[in-house]
Amino acid sequence: MEDWDVIKHPHLTEKSMDMVDRENKLTLVVDDRSNKDEIQDAVEGLFDVSVDKVNTLNRGNDKKAYVKLAPEHDAMDVATRLGML
């Protein structure tokens, strides 16, 4: 699966934007067939960052991924590239 096939789009809510700022986390809607390793590889490959941890949440037809970036990388920069800001 290609990187952009794994990541569908960012999840834009007030809470997700707060997590970008305070916790250095991105909230993404991902393909429901993808696993944590594929999500990590896709984020690292597309945005040239290091990922510390990936948590997923299945909700009906959607799957969300909460991606915590390594401290040396800024989630705000990635969010800007994704068009979240």
Six-digit token string for 19: 């997590």
What pLDDT sits at residue 28? Answer: 96
Query: What is the pTM (predicted TM-score) of this model?
Result: 0.93
User: CATH number for the domain including 50?
Assistant: 3.30.70.330
pLDDT of residue 53: 97
Residue 34 domain boundaries:
3-82
- Nearest CA among 58, 60, 69, 11 for reference residue 35: 58
Tens place of pLDDT for every residue, the chain, 85 residues? 889 999 999 999 999 999 999 999 999 999 999 999 999 999 999 999 999 999 999 988 889 999 999 999 999 999 999 988 7
Number of domains within the chain: 1
pLDDT at 30: 97
H or E element that contains 18: helix 14-23
Q: Which of 45, 47, 50 is nearest to 69 (CA)?
A: 50
Residue 24: CB partners within 8 Å, gap ≥ 6? 68, 69, 71, 73, 74, 75
pLDDT of residue 7: 95
